[in-house]
Amino acid sequence: MDIVELIKDDHKTVDGLFQEINSLVDNREPIPDELLITLITELSSHLEAEEKVLYARLKEEKGFTELMEEGVEEHSEISQLIDEIQNHRDSLEAVADKLNDLQDQVEHHVEVEESETLPKVKSLWAAEFLEQLAEEMKDAKRDIQSGAPSPSHQERDIHY
């Protein structure tokens, strides 16, 4: 698996969680805390690991400036919405509202990544390096989810 496939898998996981939550909201059923926490954990760790492993490197490459500025801005808007949801966890209506906004933002962001950023990434680096990045992103996500600090990519860079 390479980093492009890994990122798309993460996007699918998050989309599936949104669908699950939406069907509960549609039936006016409460959203279990565990489901909300899973969504937030998956999404936050994806954003952070993606920035750390992929965006940090793309910022050093030519032709990614605009995409990276837009991407980071969207990540911070998404993170802000996540914070707001966490602060309103006691009100189903407020959460449902914010979740709608969050889903819209995430869907827009995913579309840009999958149609513009990732195809460019795929042709930028060799297959072996793209696979190495997938391993780094998995490690980074795991570290983030367990709350452990992980080394920045500069410290663990391998020659390519």
Q: Which residues bind Fe ion (CB under 5 A)?
A: 50, 113
Which residue number, 23 or 80, has a Cβ lying nearer to Fe ion? 80
Which residue number, 51 or 96, has a Cβ lying nearer to Fe ion? 51
Give the up-direction half-sphere exposure of residue 141: CA atoms within 13 A in the CB hemisphere. Answer: 20
CB of 76 to Fe ion, least distance (A): 11
Which residue number, 96 or 110, has a Cβ lying nearer to Fe ion? 110
CB of 133 to Fe ion, least distance (A): 13
CB of 57 to Fe ion, least distance (A): 14
Which residue number, 24 or 72, has a Cβ lying nearer to Fe ion? 72
Are the C-beta atoms of 8 and 119 separated by less than 8 Å?
A: no
Which residue number, 55 or 125, has a Cβ lying nearer to Fe ion? 55
CB of 111 to Fe ion, least distance (A): 11
CB of 58 to Fe ion, least distance (A): 11
DSSP string, 36-95: HHHHHHHHHHHHHHHIIIIIHHHTTSTT-HHHHHHHHHHHHHHHHHHHHHHHTTT-HHHH
Q: Is 30 helix (H, G, I), strand (E, B) or coil?
A: coil
